[in-house]
Amino acid sequence: MSERYPGYDVLAKRGTPSWNEQTRRVIDQRLALPREPRFFGAEEFRTLEAVCARIMPQPRSRPPVPIAAMIDAKLREGRGDGYRDHRLPPMGEAWRHGLHAIGAEAQRRHGARFDALEPAEQDALLQAAQDGRLAPAAWQGMDCALFFAKRLLPDIVTSYYGHPAAWSEIGFGGPASPRGYVRMDFDRRDPWEAAEAKPGHERDAARDNARVG
């Protein structure tokens, strides 16, 4: 649950005119995603989960969005972006190289697996990758800064914000068909939109959000 939008859950609208049948099908599938990897090996997946936890830290107040599993599913389906920067290999290959390289760097720096490092050590390693400061040998010719900017970061972040829990967190209206929106002006919300908690009036927002539907 979000502090900004206390008690707001887009899933509460699942049975309302805001959701159509196809949307229910699609979101149900997303929520039922298997957590075990089918593209990555076990070790790669452990590294990926640890990377996701640092790139996209999640609130402890709710079950975590299974970002790693979502990326695994995307790579297994082979549903690409429809283009590729020529300096990067295709996405599945890029991810494998990247995760191995991150694992190798963790060993080189700390003599341990990436997922066994302290959060601060993990962050430092990831920052170095973003800055392009990691030794190229482990990256098999792939530019680590480019991989970070074009694959690692966007894939993790867009997976997270493609999940209903994240929509509730940021107060997004969520699915909207056939029912869209009436009030489009500043500081106006329809009763089926998220209510933002104003300082000192958090209970009002929570009460409004309980009625969203």
Partner 1 sequence: MRRRGATPALRDAPRALGTAGAMLALSALADSAVEHYRGSFHNKFMYLPLGVAALTLAACAREAAGARARPRSSSIDRLAMATGIVGTGFHVYNIGKRPGGFSWLNLFYAAPLGAPGALLLAGLLHRIGARLGEGRRDICGVRAGPALAGLVSASLIATSAEAALLHFRGAFQNPAMLIPVTAPPVAAALLARAAVTPQRHHPGTRWSLRLLAAVGLLGSGFHAYGIGRCMGGWRNWSQNLLSGPPLPAPPAFTALAIAGLAALGLIEKERR
Partner 2 sequence: MRRETMRVSDDPERTPRGKGGRAPDVFQPGGWIPMREYEDGERVDFAIVGTGAGGGTLACRLAEMGFSVVAFDVGPWWRPLEDFASDETHQQKLYWTDERICDGADPLVLGANNSGRSVGGSTVHFAMVSLRFRPAWFKARTLLGYGVDWPLDWREMWRYYGEVEQALKISGPVNYPWGPKRPRYPYRPHELNAAATVLAKGAEAMGIAWAPTPLATVSAPRGNSPPCVYRGFCVSGCSTNAKQSALITWIPRAVRAGAEIRDLAMVGRIETDAASGRVSGVHYHREGHWRFQKARNVVVAGYAIETPRLLLNSASARHPDGLANGSGLVGKNLMVQSNQAVFGTLDEEVRWYKGPPSLAITEHWNYADQGKDFFGGYCYMSQGALPVAWSGILAGRGLWGEKLRQEMENYNHQAGLKIVGEVLPDERNRVTLAAEKDRFGLPVARVTFSYGENDRKLIRHALGFMRQSLEAAGAREVWDQEDDTCHLNGTARMGNDARSSVVDADCRSWDVPNLWVCDGSVFPTVGGVNPSLTIQAIACRTADRIRALAARGEL
Binding site for partner 2 (CB under 8 A): 2, 4, 18-23, 25-27, 29-30, 54-57, 73, 77, 79-87, 90, 123, 126, 130, 149, 153-154, 156-158, 160-162, 166-167, 169-189, 193-194, 196
Contact between 160 and 67 (Cβ < 8 Å): yes
Of 78, 182, 201, 203, which one interacts with partner 1 (CB under 8 A)?
182
Q: Is 183 in the site for partner 1 (CB under 8 A)?
A: yes
Q: Which residues contact 168 (CB under 8 A, 6 or more apart)?
A: 1, 2, 5, 8, 9, 10, 11, 174, 194
- Residue among 29 and 177 whose Cβ is closer to partner 1: 177
Q: Is 198 in the site for partner 1 (CB under 8 A)?
A: no
Which residue type does 96 have? Answer: R
Minimal distance in Å, beta carbon 25 to partner 1? 18
Q: Could you identify the residue written with the tokens 């074009």?
A: 150
Binder of residue 192, out of partner 1, partner 2, none (CB less than 5 to 8 A by kind): partner 1
Q: Could you identify the residue written with the tokens 């900017």?
A: 149
> CB under 8 Å, gap of 24 or more: what pairs does 178-186 form?
178/17, 178/20, 179/16, 179/17, 179/18
Return the closest-CA partner of residue 39 out of 83, 78, 9, 89.
78
* 67 three-state secondary structure: helix
Instruction: Describe the crossing of helices 67-77 and 42-55 by its angle, rounded to 10 degrees.
Output: 120
Binder of residue 15, out of partner 1, partner 2, none (CB less than 5 to 8 A by kind): none
Q: Is 57 in the site for partner 1 (CB under 8 A)?
A: no
Of 181, 203, 204, 211, which one interacts with partner 1 (CB under 8 A)?
181
Minimal distance in Å, beta carbon 16 to partner 2? 12
Return the closest-CA partner of residue 68 out of 166, 169, 155.
155
Binder of residue 191, out of partner 1, partner 2, none (CB less than 5 to 8 A by kind): partner 1
Q: Is 119 in the site for partner 1 (CB under 8 A)?
A: no
Which residue type does 172 have? Answer: F
Q: Is 192 in the site for partner 1 (CB under 8 A)?
A: yes
Minimal distance in Å, beta carbon 19 to partner 1? 11
